[in-house]
Amino acid sequence: MTYDLYIGDRLFSSWSMRGWLMLEKFNLPYRSHMIGLYSGTMAQDMEPLAPARLVPALHLPDGTVVGESLAMAETLAERHPDAGLWPSDAAARATARWLCAEMVAGFSALRGECAMQLRNVWQGFTPSEAILSDLERIETLWAHARSVSGADRGPLFGAYSLADVFYTPVAARIVGYGLAVSEANRAYCMELLSDPLVRQWRAMGLTVEYDTFPYAQDLPSSPWPVGGVSAAKPVSGGPSVNAVCPYSGKPVTEFLELDGQCWGFCNPFCRNKTVADPEAWPKFAAMRAAVNDS
């Protein structure tokens, strides 16, 4: 039983990130398909999913199409009751659903004025009063979640749940625009963004180049705080330390240099996602460790 997940550009599509995390974090089998949000092909790409018109969209194994993130979340939780997508405690589960529903319907200023981007942190952004109101509401909801769950740090309901999935792009906006929240909530944001899977999502997004960077601000910027400065760089040829790609096991054709060593990959995407954030990829880290320990 494998799902087909349709997503948009990883650096910018906050809803796509939610859809992907629902499947990745809870180990549900899927294939991903890219929709061209910025290439002008979105309407054409979405035609097989009609009447769904936005990403993410989920194609179930029986052919059913599910649009909208919250519907996808409930469908997956219903189909996989033992996966733990929602908290097990009834009060926590009801509260988590509330937080996700309010995320879907609310925070229009934060979402409209601080478009998600995962490339860098904007310096000197001045939030509007409406954004400040949204932030206050978010902190109120997070505090309420912790009062229900008893978890004073980490995931909102003790164990990672769909609530954390839905608020990961919120954390990206808070950090990416330098928005002020409490020290505890900033730590929560950084924990969400430090998740290895979130780092991988960002690294894959960085493999795409844009003639004009969407949602650019006329502001100075600093590096993304997690994996934002990579010591790796692409190089034109080998020989590499390894003969096969750490991800596919296929012969290497593309190369990068890291800490004075050349490493090979089976295609540009494998190489470029590793250049973007070498520490995000356990298989590459394991290969490096095995070679350097031998």
| Cβ-contact 61, 3 below 8 angstroms | yes
User: Measured over all CA atoms, what is the biggest interatomic distance in the chain, rounded to whole angstroms?
Assistant: 58
pLDDT in tens, 4-60: 999 999 999 999 999 999 999 999 999 999 998 988 899 899 998 999 999 999 999
Strands of 261-265's sheet in order across: 233-235, 254-258, 261-265
Element holding 290 (H helix, E strand): helix 282-293
Q: Which residue has the tokens 């180990």?
A: 27
What CATH number does the domain located at 3-79 have?
A: 3.40.30.10
Ordered by start, the domain boundaries in the chain are 3-79, 90-199, 230-293
| Cβ-contact 164, 156 below 8 angstroms | yes
pLDDT in tens, 62-92: 999 999 999 999 999 999 999 999 999 999 9
Which portions of the chain are predicted below pLDDT 70? 294
pLDDT at 185: 98
Closest Cα to residue 22, out of 54, 57, 63?
A: 57
Q: Do domains 3-79 and 90-199 have the same CATH topology?
A: no
Element holding 123 (H helix, E strand): none
CATH architecture for segment(s) 90-199: Up-down Bundle (1.20)
